[in-house]
Structure 1
């Protein structure tokens, strides 16, 4: 009987931990998701991953226009083939991520992002200029 109760608690704990890790993804995952959303034309989802004074000043709709152009550029390069995370540094509520994106045509671009932990513990990319 005790073994069955222990097993039930262990399964419940594993489900809880797994659900937390899915909801609160790390900064590098947020950056990857941002570029995947751009690639697939999910402009609203991509802009939801952004924060900062420039976003507040200009508005998300204007950023969607710019992101649509980036989406076209990604498609011209053959889409995103892979991501390589060079570094991910988390210090409390802030983080920095350095990645290399490899495109379908073989070109590679290095991207550096600064992130803040925003609403509901979700990481957001800071747009500064």
Structure 2
């Protein structure tokens, strides 16, 4: 049966919870299966997005031990899409109700896009 979440991230969180530490190894070599169609790619991205959200919820207790920049990045990854959606909805509501261009919402969307790139 196909997996519905990212096992690598989940296993890493379980190891960190158990007291182990992880380390970046630039010489590591790994094989992977690359999606060969747009449908496969979109399913992969959806699976990864669900996995990221679910595993971040599991890892909240680990945030205390992380570097402040990593903690902010994890929080931003999870509330960023919500804030972006709210900005788009607020901009559309302003445009529909008043007929004016929602410059504040446009700037917020642009800033969030730049920060995430």
Q: How would you bin the TM-score normalised by the shorter chain? A: under 0.3
Q: What is the TM-score normalised by the length of structure 1? A: 0.22
Give 1 or 2: higher strand fraction: 1
Give 1 or 2: higher helix fraction: 2
Higher RCO (C-alpha 8 Å, min separation 6): 1
Q: What is the TM-score normalised by the length of structure 2? A: 0.24
